[in-house]
């Protein structure tokens, strides 16, 4: 199969995961059209620099016209919000997408308590608009970002895709569960294959500034106090970006092969609606995570202990058995390596001289 014969849509292409996925897909020969609304939920300059890293002309990107990458053949970008139905419809009419990967969303658990309508609009209305375009254009498969937050108040560890997910602890989590339910309905009604990707605490270079690793590194380097919730009694299944992208690429390849008719659908893949946990299957205690950042940065953290915050859960832990069985998924990056890679990127990106020789 010639990868170039099939075009993939990636929404949220200027975001953390979308940027890395787009780069990976074009590097292995797929044609990719990336969409992003370039909103200012976090530092917009970081999103712009991700686009530059993809070889895109930022001024052209801002125009709303389709912009081709100068360094990644097969990659183009269009500034578009999923709620802009006319533009989205025109994009689908112009391109013949075989697969769409929806990574566009309003992110952030705590912000969802401050601005709930932003989550309904972006994560529910935008998602339905995308599904409608997929239905009208008879797209083969839609992969979409769900979240480990759908497990909510579940106290059984590790989190299994067979566990109940009807106790969301934040509006963000509720919108992600809503995505899964809406995808189920569209799959049954319109025969669109849909795959929900329940990501677990993604981290690494080019990561989001509102995530723990970014905030902790920035604060420690600047001698600022970091907030430690639940008095440090938390653990997260931190999953490195390369492992996340590797899993998504494997699923894309499988769906592409099925779409081309080159592979008969067997076993679990015959189910047109599926969800997968994409995590590390190796949770890390929050305090151990902080100590790893201290070790790499070479500076002590100033900490303020706080209670568990609304919307937070004490622990996450991914059961990845289905992802491993269906796609051979095996996360390869440990936290020590991942933290070091992030800190090195952070120091380089912000042109900061290392405060010690710890990671030289």
Q: Is 41 a catalytic residue?
A: no
Choice among 111, 144, 172, 240 that is catalytic: 172
Distance CA 275, CA 277 (A): 7
Cα angle 246, 347, 334; round to 5: 35
With contact defined as beta carbons under 8 Å apart, do 56 and 19 qualify?
Answer: no
Strands (E), 94-248: 97-102, 141-147, 193-199, 202-203, 225-228, 235-236, 239-240
Torsion on CA atoms 331, 151, 127, 142, rounded to nearest 10: 40
Report how far apart, in Å, the C-alpha atoms of 41 and of each of 15, 37, 47, 241 are. Answer: 11, 11, 11, 20
| Residue 80 CA, distance from chain mean position | 18
Angle at which helices 212-221 and 335-349 cross, to 10°? 60
Tokens found for residue 16: 């953390």
Q: Give the H or E element holding residue 36.
A: strand 31-36
Tokens found for residue 88: 């989205």
Q: Smallest Cα–Cα separation from 254: which of 311, 321, 308, 327?
A: 327
Tokens found for residue 1: 């199969």
With contact defined as beta carbons under 8 Å apart, do 172 and 122 qualify?
Answer: no
Angle at which helices 44-53 and 16-27 cross, to 10°? 0
Distance CA 148, CA 209 (A): 19
The residue with tokens 């070889």 is: 55
Q: 59 by DSSP, 3-state: which?
A: helix
Q: Which residues are catalytic?
A: 172
């Amino acid at each position: 199969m010639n990868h170039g014969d099939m075009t993939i849509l990636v929404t949220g292409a200027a975001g953390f995961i979308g940027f890395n996925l787009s780069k990976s897909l074009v590097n292995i020969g797929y044609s990719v059209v990336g969409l992003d609304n370039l909103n200012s939920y976090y530092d917009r300059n970081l999103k712009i620099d991700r686009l530059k890293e993809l070889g895109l002309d930022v001024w052209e990107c801002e125009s709303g016209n389709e912009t081709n990458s100068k360094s990644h053949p097969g990659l183009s970008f269009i500034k578009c919000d999923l709620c802009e139905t006319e533009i989205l419809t025109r994009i689908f009419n112009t391109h013949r997408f075989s697969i769409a990967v929806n990574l566009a969303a309003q992110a952030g658990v705590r912000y969802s308590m401050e601005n709930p309508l932003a989550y309904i609009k972006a994560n529910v209305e935008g998602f339905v608009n995308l599904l409608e375009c997929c239905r009208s254009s008879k797209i083969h498969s839609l992969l979409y970002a769900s979240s480990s937050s759908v497990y909510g108040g579940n106290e059984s560890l590790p989190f299994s895709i067979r566990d109940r997910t009807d106790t969301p602890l934040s509006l963000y989590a509720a919108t992600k569960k809503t995505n899964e339910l809406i995808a189920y309905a569209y799959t049954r009604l319109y025969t669109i294959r849909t795959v929900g990707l329940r990501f677990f605490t993604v981290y690494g270079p080019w990561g989001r500034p509102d995530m723990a690793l970014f905030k902790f590194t920035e604060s420690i380097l600047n001698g600022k106090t970091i907030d430690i919730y639940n008095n440090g009694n938390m653990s997260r299944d931190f999953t490195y970006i390369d492992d996340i992208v590797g899993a998504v690429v494997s699923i894309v390849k499988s769906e592409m092969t099925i779409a081309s008719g080159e592979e008969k659908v067997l076993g679990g893949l015959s189910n047109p609606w599926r969800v997968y946990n994409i995590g590390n299957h190796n949770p890390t205690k929050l305090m151990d995570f902080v100590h790893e950042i201290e070790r790499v940065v070479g500076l002590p953290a100033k900490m303020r202990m706080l209670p568990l915050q609304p919307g937070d859960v004490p622990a996450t832990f991914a059961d990845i058995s289905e992802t491993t069985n269906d796609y051979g998924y095996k996360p390869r990056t440990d936290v020590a390596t991942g933290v070091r890679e992030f800190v090195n990127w952070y120091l380089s990106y912000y042109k900061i001289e290392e405060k010690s020789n710890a990671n030289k």
